[in-house]
């Protein structure tokens, strides 16, 4: 993966630039999940983001939680799961669950 496309490289660059940064990492998946374990989404204190941990409403919820993690400094374990009939609405196209850890980069 190119350093320009790697979210962790982006997080490092943002921190060097003096930005507050949170990193979200997919820890576990069950069933269908759009991104594999180890995928990252980085978010700065202004709400800019790069990378992906899922899609749809899940990604929006992770960004919202990341903003709170940046403010508090306390990491959070998030879990998202949906039944097949509601999967498209939240961005998990075939149902499934994901567990994401969000932490502030220091």
Residue at 70 is within a domain: yes
How confident is the model at residue 94, as a pLDDT? 61
How confident is the model at residue 10, as a pLDDT? 96
The CA distance from 99 to 45, in Å, is 22
Domain count of the chain? Answer: 1
Cα atoms found within 13 Å of the Cα of residue 49, Cβ hemisphere only:
21
The CA distance from 18 to 45, in Å, is 10
Residue at 1 is within a domain: no
How confident is the model at residue 83, as a pLDDT? 57
What confidence tens digit (pLDDT) does each residue in 1-42 have?
Answer: 444 569 999 999 999 999 999 999 999 998 877 889 999 999
What confidence tens digit (pLDDT) does each residue in 28-80 have?
Answer: 998 877 889 999 999 999 999 999 998 778 899 999 999 999 999 999 999 98
Residue at 26 is within a domain: yes
Residue at 41 is within a domain: yes
- Structural domain that includes position 87: 7-105
Residue at 2 is within a domain: no
């Amino acid at each position: 993966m190119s350093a320009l496309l790697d979210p962790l490289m982006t997080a490092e660059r943002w921190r060097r630039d003096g930005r507050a940064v949170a990193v979200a990492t997919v820890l576990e998946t069950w069933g269908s999940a759009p991104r594999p374990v180890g995928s990252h989404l980085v978010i700065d204190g202004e709400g800019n983001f790069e990378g992906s941990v899922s899609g749809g409403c899940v990604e929006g919820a992770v960004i919202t939680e990341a903003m709170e993690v940046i403010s508090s400094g306390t990491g959070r374990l998030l879990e998202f799961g949906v039944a097949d009939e509601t999967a498209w609405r939240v961005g998990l196209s075939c149902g499934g669950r994901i567990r994401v850890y969000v932490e502030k980069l220091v």
